[in-house]
A and B are shown apart, each in its own frame.
Chain A
Amino acid sequence: MRKGPIVIGATAAGLAGVLSFHSKTGSFSALPASTTAPQHQQGSSGGSAGSTSSGSSGAPASSGAGTASSGSSSSGSTAGGTSAGAGSSGGGPASPPPAKTTPTTTKLTGKVEQFGYGQLAVTVTLTGTRITDVAVSSLQVIDPTSQYIEQQAVPYLKREVLQAQSANIQGVSGASYTAQAYALSLQSALAKRPKG
């Protein structure tokens, strides 16, 4: 039995709050949680053995402008195809030269985080300073809850992260999900952002 509560960063609803603190400036450079936490990892089961960083912990794989690095769907363009409406700010319509107006697309992978049913890690795509996609880059589960997590919770959490940037809210009423591992991994991914 663990004694104190676990400090594990933000859950989706929490993220809505965290992100909104910074949405005005467009900078997501300082999640408060990442600066505070003497992050007591989940004490009980098996310790924090799984919490090694999956992605190359060093240099974030910043793909040059315009190249859709192995991401999900869209072929040629940057990751702006996702719902956040990030679009490529400025830049004329269909302008082939990836001039300086095109924001850089960066993919960052967070730590593998334990949760009640297994472990997962997320990869966040940033276009400029906006989060344009969050994908689960690794997911291991130990029971049938996996289906629920994959089909329900993960898409939900992803949209909530994207939504938090646009809706400028401090929480969502009516949401109830096991989300802390997702949020934690996202947080550690964002912590890898290059400064400035």
Chain B
Amino acid sequence: MVHVEPVMGTMVTITIDGGGLAAEDVDAAVVEACAELHRADRVFSTWTAWSPMSRLRRGAVRLDQLPDDVAAEISSVLALCWDARRATDGWFDPWAMPGGVDPTGLVKGWAIEQAMGVLDKASMASAVVNGGGDIVVHGDSPEPGGWRIGVQHPWRRGALACVVAVDHAVATSGGYERGTHLVDPRRGVRTAGAVASATVTGPSLAVADALATAVAVGADEALALVGGLPGYEAYLIGHDGREISTPGFPSVPA
């Protein structure tokens, strides 16, 4: 079945094959997965002024004043952000965002992964969760060759730039999707992106999401850094149409 959930300012699509599971169990797992997405959105949204994350970043509340579970969750996300910041030499840097620390570039991928965790626990035969192009897959692919995910071409609408074989996660970032929403952390200014599109594959969607954001603003330099991380591969399309990828980027024949 396919379920679409409007959440986190985008459409999250859950495509699942329950295998031998009863339809009610599949439905229940989807309901729970979606609840997880909404819960993550309530905690981390920087679009609503009163989310714990918004209050935290403007200094209206300290971490130790939040409920323990919320504080623990924010801490673990910020820890992931910190790792991604280090790994990208600052090309991903939530602490350089205007208005205070902003983990948005990692949270969507993280939340989608949490939702997949729910489906995983419910023993789905296979599942794909796709949140605005941040995709995590689980279980056996419907085709023998493994999961195949298309990467949208940044300006040829509807065309694919390439197809990638995905074991777990893939994230794409770029200015084309929603206009200028990226920030160059080294200069502290909004940017349409140093490249037209940046795609990262790897074992964690949260990290892949952050790394794709880094490549979108850090271009070749950030791509090379991603290539040095075990399990992660990157691919970028320049504004001029040039395409560069790390040596192990899993593109497959379309």
Q: Is B124 an interface position by the 8 A CB rule?
A: no
Most chain A Cβ neighbours within 10 Å, of B135, B158, B174: B158
Chain A contacts with B in 147-178, Cβ cutoff 8 A: 152, 155-156, 158-160, 163, 167-178
Tell me the complex Cα distance, A81–B150, Å. Answer: 24
Q: Is B68 an interface position by the 8 A CB rule?
A: no
B242 partner residues in chain A, CB cutoff 8 A = none
The answer to whether B128 and A171 touch across the interface, beta carbons within 8 angstroms, is: yes
B1 partner residues in chain A, CB cutoff 8 A = 7, 32-33, 35-37
A147 CB to nearest chain B CB (Å): 15
A161 CB to nearest chain B CB (Å): 9
The answer to whether A167 and B150 touch across the interface, beta carbons within 8 angstroms, is: yes
Interchain CB contact (< 8 A) of B134 among A152, A158, A168, A173:
A173
A8 partner residues in chain B, CB cutoff 8 A = 3-4
Q: Is B149 an interface position by the 8 A CB rule?
A: yes
The answer to whether B130 and A13 touch across the interface, beta carbons within 8 angstroms, is: yes
Tell me the complex Cα distance, A10–B152, Å. Answer: 18
How many chain A residues sit at the interface, stated as a range, is 35 or more
The answer to whether A167 and B128 touch across the interface, beta carbons within 8 angstroms, is: no
Interchain CB contact (< 8 A) of B4 among A158, A170, A172, A183:
A183
B225 CB to nearest chain A CB (Å): 20
Given contacts A11-B11, A17-B142, could you give 13 more A-B pairs where the C-beta distance is less than 8 Å? A7-B3, A8-B3, A9-B2, A10-B13, A11-B13, A14-B14, A14-B130, A17-B15, A159-B158, A171-B137, A176-B177, A177-B11, A178-B6
| 12 A–B pairs (Cβ distance < 8 Å), ordered by A | A6-B4, A9-B3, A37-B1, A159-B159, A167-B148, A168-B143, A168-B148, A174-B133, A174-B154, A174-B174, A176-B133, A180-B4
